């Protein structure tokens, strides 16, 4: 079992776990392959957050199991890890007999011992092995599965929040912040491979360091990361609005390397819904913080996530949410429909908003946001901005695609370059000329001096399939 294929589902935090598994396997001489059909061992690192994610995880496991058929692949062992495995270990092993081992969210650092045990197990596989000893800090090898110029940096494991709709604390454990020294070391190693952009992630960045006694906090970490030579963009994800402090806001405003971009998940704006969600903030406090960020940080780009269909959400409550979106306080957003999950505090409430209504409300929020987005995007026309080039547009060779500081990878819209040339990973100066849908159209004004195109290396073959 020397060829291993890893499939990672769900969030970027789970993806980093998969990248650590790939790094550990690679270090021990395993070949991490991007082709499932050539793998002796497949690891499916699952998501189990909501119904849709659970279904995708199960479908992916079943698809992977097909490679045990000699006509389709050479698969010997199938491992299921991650959140779904943590949540339903016995059920997965019982209902999908093709799975050889079920192991949970704490297993990513122990993947070598798990694989070695699988090698010596009988034909019935390894069964279920869960780990309760969760890492607090670590210095482990990692393979970056993202394009060479960008990577995620996970600051902490687990979560200190207890939002009523969320199962994550039960699956991932309590907050365990990594040390600043280890995070800076990992950042330096990533930059050494060509990474120019780090996207900082955790369940809540603003809680970083609160479980430690060494004075670590988000501001202290940022002050060290901006010193990393070769790192050009630092972007912050998942910062809760009730805990952003003056020091962090000041750093976003004044440190050139820190993108004027913030993902602030607010979920709702109605006070009753926020209370039932166990969010420790009011609608007025949310608005105040968003307005403050816009006023104090010129050029600030804000992203949020919203939830529709939470138990008890009336038409009046939903109208408040639409009015909030129409105010244009956020630039980008994602909208999720409530999923009634056993094991969460909100499961005690009656799931009284019909699924059809949830989907209708989701669309209405997106429609309301699209109307204000057009006016926001129009303000970029005529501006000169730096864009990180990602390559050719997938639909035409006549356009390059890239992102400016306010466009995060994988979730936000793009800047499309229709005049001028550039290499992948190059940072070019462009002038925005128009908008197309929710994308910006721009032409190259100035290319990066001294940029050397990066060529594909052997390490690039060790990839994680991220679904």
In this structure, what CATH number is given to the domain that contains residue 203?
A: 3.80.30.20
Least confident of 130-139, 206-215, 307-316: 130-139
Q: Do 398 and 277 fall into the same domain?
A: no
Domain end, chosen from 378, 412, 432, is at 378
Q: Do 71 and 161 fall into the same domain?
A: no
* 451 assigned to some structural domain: no
The answer to whether the beta carbons of residues 11 and 19 sit under 8 Å apart is: no
Looking at the predicted structure, is the pLDDT value of residue 136 above 90?
no
pLDDT tier for residue 456 given thresholds of 50, 70 and 90: low
* 145 assigned to some structural domain: no
* 452 assigned to some structural domain: no
Looking at the predicted structure, is the pLDDT value of residue 102 above 60?
yes
In the chain, count H helices and then E strands.
13, 20
Looking at the predicted structure, is the pLDDT value of residue 117 above 90?
no
For residue 347, the Cα-to-chain-centroid distance in whole angstroms is: 25
Average per-residue pLDDT for the chain: 92
Q: How many domains does the chain have?
A: 3
Q: Do 222 and 239 fall into the same domain?
A: yes
Q: What is the pLDDT of residues 62-77, one digit of tens each?
A: 999 999 999 999 999 9
φ and ψ at residue 364, rounded to 5 degrees: -65, -35
pLDDT tier for residue 106 given thresholds of 50, 70 and 90: confident
* 467 assigned to some structural domain: no
Q: How confident is the model at residue 462, as a pLDDT?
A: 56
Q: Do 299 and 191 fall into the same domain?
A: yes
| Cβ neighbours of 350 (radius 10 Å) | 8
CA angle 245, 294, 336 (to 5 degrees): 85
pLDDT tier for residue 460 given thresholds of 50, 70 and 90: low
Q: Do 54 and 94 fall into the same domain?
A: yes
Q: How confident is the model at residue 130, as a pLDDT?
A: 81
Q: Identify the residue with better confidence: 234 or 133.
A: 234
What 8-state DSSP symbol labels residue 46?
E
| CA-based nearest residue to 310, from 343, 346, 281, 278 | 346
Q: Do 362 and 391 fall into the same domain?
A: no
Q: Do 123 and 157 fall into the same domain?
A: no
The answer to whether the beta carbons of residues 345 and 310 sit under 8 Å apart is: no
Average pLDDT over residues 267-288: 96
Domain end, chosen from 345, 378, 411, is at 378
CATH of the domain at 35: 3.40.50.12160
Q: How confident is the model at residue 14, as a pLDDT?
A: 92
* 461 assigned to some structural domain: no
CA angle 226, 300, 418 (to 5 degrees): 95
- Structural domain span for residue 73: 3-134
Q: Identify the residue with better confidence: 250 or 466.
A: 250
Q: What is the pLDDT of residues 152-211, one digit of tens each?
A: 999 999 999 999 999 999 999 999 999 999 999 999 999 999 999 999 999 999 999 999
Q: Do 91 and 203 fall into the same domain?
A: no
Q: State both tokens at 228.
A: 């990393």
Average pLDDT over residues 261-285: 96
Q: Identify the residue with better confidence: 315 or 51.
A: 315
Least confident of 13-27, 102-116, 266-280, 285-299: 102-116
Q: Do 191 and 339 fall into the same domain?
A: yes
* 53 assigned to some structural domain: yes
Average pLDDT over residues 330-349: 95
Q: State both tokens at 306.
A: 């919203």
Looking at the predicted structure, is the pLDDT value of residue 416 above 80?
yes
pTM: 0.93
Domain end, chosen from 378, 393, 415, is at 378
CATH of the domain at 417: 2.40.50.140
Q: How confident is the model at residue 455, as a pLDDT?
A: 66
The answer to whether the beta carbons of residues 458 and 435 sit under 8 Å apart is: no
* 374 assigned to some structural domain: yes
pLDDT tier for residue 121 given thresholds of 50, 70 and 90: low
Q: Can you name the residues that pair with 389 across neighbouring β-strands?
A: 402
Looking at the predicted structure, is the pLDDT value of residue 457 above 90?
no
Average pLDDT over residues 297-310: 96
Residues 6+ apart with CB under 8 A from 410: none
For residue 164, CA distances in Å to 159, 174, 201, 392 come to: 13, 15, 21, 43
Q: How confident is the model at residue 132, as a pLDDT?
A: 77
Q: Do 371 and 407 fall into the same domain?
A: no
Q: Do 45 and 166 fall into the same domain?
A: no
Q: How confident is the model at residue 330, as a pLDDT?
A: 96
Helices (H), 174-258: 180-192, 218-225, 246-254
167 SS3 class: coil
For residue 269, the Cα-to-chain-centroid distance in whole angstroms is: 23
The answer to whether the beta carbons of residues 201 and 154 sit under 8 Å apart is: yes
Share of the chain above pLDDT 90, in %: 81
* 317 assigned to some structural domain: yes
Q: How confident is the model at residue 122, as a pLDDT?
A: 59
Q: Do 193 and 255 fall into the same domain?
A: yes
């Amino acid at each position: 079992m020397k060829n291993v294929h890893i499939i990672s589902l769900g969030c970027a935090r789970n993806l980093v776990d998969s990248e650590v598994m790939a790094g550990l396997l690679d270090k021990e001489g395993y070949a991490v392959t991007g082709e499932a059909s050539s793998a002796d061992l497949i690891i499916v690192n699952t998501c189990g957050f909501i119904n849709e994610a659970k279904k995708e995880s199960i479908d992916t496991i079943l698809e992977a199991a097909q490679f045990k058929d000699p006509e389709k692949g050479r698969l010997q062992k199938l491992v299921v890890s991650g959140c779904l495995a943590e949540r339903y270990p016995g059920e997965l092993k019982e209902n999908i007999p093709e799975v050889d081992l079920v192991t949970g969210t704490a297993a990513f650092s122990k993947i070598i011992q798990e694989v070695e045990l699988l090698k010596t197990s009988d034909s019935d596989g390894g069964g279920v092995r869960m780990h309760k000893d969760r890492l607090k800090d670590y210095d482990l090898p990692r393979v970056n599965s993202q394009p060479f110029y960008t990577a995620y940096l996970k600051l902490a494991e687990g979560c200190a929040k207890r939002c009523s709709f969320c199962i994550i604390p039960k699956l991932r454990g309590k907050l365990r912040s990594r040390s600043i020294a280890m995070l800076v070391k990992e950042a330096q190693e990533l930059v050494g491979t060509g990474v120019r952009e780090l996207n900082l992630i955790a369940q809540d960045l603003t809680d970083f360091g609160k479980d430690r006694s060494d004075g670590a906090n988000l501001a202290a970490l940022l002050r060290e990361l901006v010193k990393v030579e070769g790192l050009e963009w630092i972007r912050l994800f998942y910062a809760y609005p009730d805990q952003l402090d003056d020091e962090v806001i000041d750093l976003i405003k004044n440190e050139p390397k820190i993108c004027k971009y913030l993902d602030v998940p607010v979920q709702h704006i109605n006070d009753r819904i926020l209370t039932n969600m166990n969010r420790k903030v009011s609608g007025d406090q949310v608005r105040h913080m968003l307005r403050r960020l816009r006023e104090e940080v010129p050029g600030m780009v804000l992203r949020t996530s919203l939830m529709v269909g939470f138990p008890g959400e009336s038409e009046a409550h939903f109208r408040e949410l639409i009015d909030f979106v129409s105010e244009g306080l956020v630039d980008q957003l994602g909208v999720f429909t409530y999923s009634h999950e056993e094991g969460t505090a909100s499961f005690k409430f009656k799931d009284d908003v019909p699924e059809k209504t949830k989907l209708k409300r989701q669309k209405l929020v997106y429609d309301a946001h699209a109307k204000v987005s057009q006016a926001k995007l129009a303000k970029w026309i005529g501006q000169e901005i730096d864009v990180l080039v990602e390559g050719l547009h997938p639909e035409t060779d006549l356009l390059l695609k890239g992102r400016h500081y306010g466009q995060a990878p994988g979730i936000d819209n793009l800047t499309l370059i229709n005049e001028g040339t550039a290499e992948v990973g190059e940072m070019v100066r462009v002038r925005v000329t128009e908008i197309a849908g929710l994308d910006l159209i721009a032409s190259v004004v100035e290319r990066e001096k001294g940029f050397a195109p990066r060529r594909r290396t052997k390490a690039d073959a060790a990839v994680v399939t991220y679904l």
